Amino acid sequence: MRRILSLGGGGIKGAATAAYLAHLEEASGRRIADCFDLIAGTSTGGIIAIALASGVKASDLVEFYIEDGPAIFPKDRPTAGWCGFVSRLRRTKYDPTALREALTRRLGERLLGGASTRLVIPAVQPARAEMYLFKTRHHPLFRHDHRLHAVDVAMATSAAPTYLPQHLVPNGGPFADGGLWANNPVGVAVAEAVSYLDWAPETLRVLSIETPQEPQVIPDKGLLAWSNSLTVLDRLGALQSSAARGTALALMRDVGNMPGPQRFMEGMTGGFPKGYFGLDETEQIKHLIGLGAAEARKHGNRIGEMFLSTSKAPFTPCP
């Protein structure tokens, strides 16, 4: 069996994902990165994926959100005067310095190519209006990304428009948040497995963990109800997530009505209170951590049996 882990985006809501994984590591006594053959992560999920594959424990990532979250997403300060207000509209909501410093403290000078497992990290190249996938060297065609610093890849996948500026990757140009097209990267992960890695669909087991999402309803009130709604991005994200899930299941040939055990599991499924969790609401970090741990306990035994009972085969990058 080949085991795949998919980690969705969501800003500070990644604290719930980190807590979920920390509970699994504690219960199993194994590191997450030692048990999965491929990890895909977008935005905050990309940060977690890169850190896990770089040797950081999930419990240390919980501390990352607790200790550094408030500095990465500080509370807005009142802006004096109309000119100050207009100036604020012209720039992103947060300065990326705190995020870079926090990532550097944990990842140092590690390169993406030093990952202990295969990685796929979605991003966007804004100047070309194209999607991009940062990858470890798990196929002979992938000859460049492994030389990049892990911090730069983490900054690139999490550069959410309006929140953080585009991140300039050395010799690669500016990048923006992969959540613009693959906030749930599970479809990307399974496509990578069956295409470039040539893994048989029937051998795949997938654990997909998204950050807490609130229920989304598409209004039937015309274009203005769509374009003026503060939740339009959430609605589009929910549609993308549904499409990614369907793509993964189709590629795995595990659509619920076929013989054999189900091989696709999801973490933190279901809707959460509307407006309760936000991308930058750091006052909710403790609640997110409690939620992640509680959700992991619900299905921890089954997840442990399916994904964490044995270590994966060693990952050797292509020469």
Q: Evaluate whether 25 touches 59 at the Cβ level (below 8 Å).
A: yes
Place of tokens 């950081």: 56
Q: How many CB atoms lie within 10 A of CB 198?
A: 8
1 contact partners, CB below 8 Å, separation of at least 6: 203, 204, 205
Active site residues: 43, 177
Are 145 and 135 in contact by the 8 Å Cβ rule? The answer is yes
Distance of CA 293 to the CA centre of its chain: 18
Q: Kindly give the residue spans of alpha helices, DSSP state H, lying in the chain.
A: 14-28, 44-53, 58-72, 81-89, 97-107, 150-157, 179-182, 186-194, 223-227, 232-252, 285-307
Give the strand pairing for 130-135 and 204-209.
unpaired
Q: Are 87 and 9 in contact (CB under 8 A)?
A: no
Q: Report CA torsion sign: 18, 22, 28, 34.
A: positive
Contact call for residues 112 and 156 (beta carbons, < 8 A): no
